Amino acid sequence: MKKKKLNKNWLHDHINDPYVKAAQKDGYRARAAYKLKEIDEDENLVKPGQVIVDLGCTPGSWGQYVRRKLAGKEGGGINGTMIGLDMLPMEPIADMHFIQGDFREIEILEQLGEVLQGRKCDLVLSDMAPNLSGIATADSARMEDLIDLAIEFSQLHLKPGGALLVKCFKDMGFNSVYEKFRAEFKTVTQKKPKASRDKSSEIFLLGRGLKNPVENKSNPIV
């Protein structure tokens, strides 16, 4: 009974959520688009001409937001390059290069390399989150693993002056994750957008300027 009541409460809150309503009105696939929108408006992350990679991009609301920011190229299309990576399928987004698979695998990295053609990224985005088990230590470890992957990906593919934005949680090994960011990036900023629910410990970390970029782009992430 308690679980049923919780589900009803969640559904009620979801239906009446202003960001859910806004997403339906604006054509976004998820309310998460407004989290990126607010952070971008504060930090001026997404700019025309950039190469942007979205890790764990499904269902695509962040990609939709980026697409709108890069739109306006004369004759249609976008001014920039968008690449989305996810193990799950995704409905296509115009002008986004979508690669389905695990970006730790050489085959997927080769596909990414074909799109990048030797270029480095200006911005790496990660809204990835683990499947939660309810066991705090296990969930924290899974969250850290995902963020480690995003950092390693950035070391390989990000421009020295580029930026990495990741989702993390205050109650899932946050201090450890924050210290890793401080070790790898020249500046680190915590962001809690209004679209992030008050009840959630969700927070975003923005790292700018790699301290130790990896020069060899062909190295696979292992």
Residue in 21, 93, 5 with CA at minimum distance from that of residue 57: 93
The DSSP symbol for 71 reads: B
Q: Is 13 annotated as a binding residue?
A: no
The angle at the Cα of 203, spanning 176 to 155, to the nearest 5 degrees, equals 55
- The set of catalytic residues is 167
Structure tokens at 121: 């990224």
Q: Is 127 annotated as a binding residue?
A: yes
Structure tokens at 195: 């679209």
Give the count of beta carbons closer than 10 Å to the beta carbon of residue 112: 21
Going by their DSSP bridges, the two strands 51-55 and 121-126 should be labelled as parallel
3-state helix/strand/coil string of 121-179: EEEEEECCCCCCCCCHHHHHHHHHHHHHHHHHHHHHHEEEEEEEEEEEECCCCHHHHHH
Please tell me whether residue 3 adopts helix, strand or coil conformation: helix
| Residues 156-187: b if buried by 16+ CB within 10 A, e if exposed | bbbbeebbbbbbbbeebbbeebbebbeebbee
Q: Is 10 annotated as a binding residue?
A: no
Which residues fall in the annotated binding site for S-adenosyl-L-methionine?
60, 62, 86, 102, 127
Which residues fall in the annotated binding site?
60, 62, 86, 102, 127
